[in-house]
Amino acid sequence: MSGTPPPTGGFVRRIGLFQATAINMSQMCGIGPFVTIPLMVAAFGGPQAVLGFVAGAVLALADGLIWAELGASLPGSGGSYVYLRQAFQYRSGRLMPFLFVWTAMLFIPLIMSTGVVGFVQYLGYLAPDLGSTGGDLVGLGVIAVVVLLLWRGIEHIARITTVMWAVMIASVTLVIVASATHFSADRAFTYPSGAFELTSDHFWLGFAAGLTIGIYDYLGYNTTAYMGAEIKNPGRTLPRSIVFSILGIMAIYLLLQIGTLGVIDWQRMTDPGDIASTSVASAVLEKTWGKGAADVITVLILVTAFASVFTGLLGGSRVPYDAARDRVFFRPYARLHPRHRFPTVGLATMGAVTAVGFLIGRHTDLATLIQLLTTVMVLVQALAQIAAVTVLRRRQPGLRRPYRMWLYPLPGLVALVGWLVIYGYADKNSPGRHPIEWSLAWVALGCVAYLLWARFEKVWPFGPREVREEYLEHPVTDEVDA
């Protein structure tokens, strides 16, 4: 076993509870609900689409409690990498953390790319003559600006994030208030025939698709867990930032969804030729307060989308750092900027993958892209972490746990059912695209890459397993890190 304490890797603990919650909420909200409300309505076939956001909130909260326990106990940079490394080292060596980093280097920046796609969609409301090439250039420029802004110290980033969080709150609040001034209960709560037929395959297909879209909109509640080495008082701050951000965004989403359905006929949202299908929030403002107000709010939504990509790459770029430092990933990813102490290669790589994903997403159905991203994440991250909580409680009973999951093991079981529903219905909701097959192929390719890597590094299964219970031997306390 290693006798060295779990290092923060040169990171500085400067992010407090408010800033941590703001980082999560900025990443969670972003452009997501503004572009997925029409997708949710199309999936359900009516205003009963609100069920998708409710189901997504339940899954996010259940899964968030798993992240809260793991993050409070193991507050290192890299999030899931740290948790899977600690939990699965006893039987499979470095395989699980390697597979997580392998997939995270793909799905995290691709999720960010959907935010840039949404940015360009809403920009099209202000500049309808932008064109395909112009939109591509704008999106690539946005990604470049995000990377340049992140190329600095975390203390500066925390201040930038707080400002962006305020803009995000302002944009969604104004859309909610505008919808309330022209709200029609009949429009929002009049459902088509058979909307709630629980014995219908159509209902469950729509529910599974809606749950996938819903959890996509909530993704980001775990952003600060990836930055555990930079969080003040992690045993208290991490769980609270996760729970507070989920509850806050849940309230915002429900008000936003219901309010939008009370202003815009749901049929307009499913019409590809209607502005409500691509820029529904702008359509709400135009109908309620006029074109001028719609233009102003659209600008705020663009800033919100930018903030989402910003915070997503901020947290995601930390993922390969710990793995590289532990020689479970390519060694250049262990480099930190000599002055500002952030992972340079990780940030640059994820920025590049985001750019590629954006170009692909511009010419791909957004709902299908979400399905593809989610299926990969379910296998290697979501299901593995549910198991990790139980494994660590059994393998490391003496681990300091400032937060223990409420009602254990119920949240884990709820999360397990939710993720399996999303995965099981993925192919049915993306006919011809085969997201399940693609996810299995990607994981299989990762296993092959791991075997080659393990052979080179002479680790399990080509060498002895290395058990490192560093957080058990050298617990991180809130008092030390305050």
Q: What are phi and psi of 77, to 5 degrees?
A: -75, 140
Cα end-to-end span (Å), the chain: 28
What is residue 242's predicted lDDT score, i.e. its pLDDT? Answer: 94
Query: Which segments in the chain show pLDDT lower than 50?
Result: 1-5, 479-482
What is residue 385's predicted lDDT score, i.e. its pLDDT? Answer: 95
What is residue 6's predicted lDDT score, i.e. its pLDDT? Answer: 54
What is residue 157's predicted lDDT score, i.e. its pLDDT? Answer: 62
Which of 367, 416, 30 minimizes the C-alpha distance to 217? Answer: 30
* CA pair distance 341, 164, nearest whole angstrom: 22
Contact 70, 78 (CB under 8 A): no
Helix (H, G, I), strand (E, B) or coil at 10: coil
What does the buried/exposed string (b/e) look like for 15-31 if buried means 16 or more CB atoms within 10 Å of the residue's CB? Answer: bebebbbbbbbbbbbbb
**Residue 126 neighbours by CB distance under 10 Å:** 14
Tokens coding 230: 């930079």
For residue 304, the one-letter residue type is T
* CA pair distance 386, 413, nearest whole angstrom: 8
Contact 110, 354 (CB under 8 A): yes
Q: Which pTM value belongs to this model? A: 0.85
* CA pair distance 21, 315, nearest whole angstrom: 13
Contact 92, 442 (CB under 8 A): no
Q: What is the pLDDT of residues 29-73, one digit of tens each?
A: 777 788 889 989 998 999 999 999 999 999 999 999 999 999 999
In order of 116, 147, 148, 309, 342, the CA distances from 144 in angstroms are: 11, 5, 6, 11, 17
